[in-house]
């Protein structure tokens, strides 16, 4: 969700966990860091260039989704530099990313390579 702040969310989660924690259990929350939520625009010439590159590499129109992820530098780029970040993924929903049985098909790897090359070409055509 846009406009979330990591400390606020962590505070609310900790309050909830303490509320539901049985009296016979010790609850400890250790904070290891965090990052502010960022919403990347889904329009504009850069994203249109990426869409053309994806169609070139994968042979289909891209599906634009707003999914969560933990890439803290994206928020830093936005807040410190005023820059939006182009985030592209080549995997499928059933790749089980970051799980013990994670996979990534060779076909998607190859299509991603072709798309990355096409992206360089497409971005070179964007008038800034």
pLDDT at residue number 64:
82
The model's pLDDT over 39-75, given as tens digits with 9 standing for 90+, comes to 878 888 999 999 999 999 999 999 887 776 778 888 8
Residues 6+ apart with CB under 8 A from 74: 35, 38, 40, 85, 87
The percent of residues in the chain predicted with pLDDT above 90, rounded, is 55
Please report the pLDDT score of residue 33 as a whole number.
Answer: 80
Confidence of residue 5 (pLDDT cuts 50, 70, 90): confident
Three-class secondary structure of residue 39 per DSSP: coil
pTM above 0.85, yes or no: no
pLDDT above 80: residue 106: yes
Task: Please state which of the four CATH numbers 1.10.150, 1.10.3470, 1.10.10, 2.30.30 is assigned to the domain occupying 37-124.
Answer: 1.10.150
Segments making up each domain of the chain, as ranges: 1-34, 37-124
DSSP output for 68-110: ----HHHHHIIIII-----------GGG-TTSTT----HHHHH
User: Quick one: DSSP state of residue 16?
Assistant: H
Q: What percent of the chain has pLDDT over 70?
A: 98
Reading the block at residue 35, the tokens are 């990052």
**Of the candidates 42, 46, 16, 44, the residue with the CA atom closest to the CA atom of residue 29:** 16
Average pLDDT score, the chain: 89
């Amino acid at each position: 969700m846009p406009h979330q702040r990591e400390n606020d969310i962590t505070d609310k989660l900790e309050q909830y966990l303490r509320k539901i924690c049985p009296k016979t259990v010790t609850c400890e929350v250790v904070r290891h860091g965090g990052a502010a939520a960022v919403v990347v625009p889904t329009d504009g010439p850069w994203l249109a260039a990426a869409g053309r590159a994806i169609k070139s590499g994968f042979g289909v129109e891209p599906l634009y989704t707003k999914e969560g992820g933990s890439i803290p530098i994206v928020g830093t780029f936005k807040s410190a530099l005023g820059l939006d970040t182009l985030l592209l993924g080549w995997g499928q929903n059933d790749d089980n990313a970051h799980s013990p049985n994670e996979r990534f098909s060779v076909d998607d790897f190859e299509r991603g390579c072709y798309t990355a090359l096409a992206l360089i070409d497409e971005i070179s055509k964007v008038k800034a």
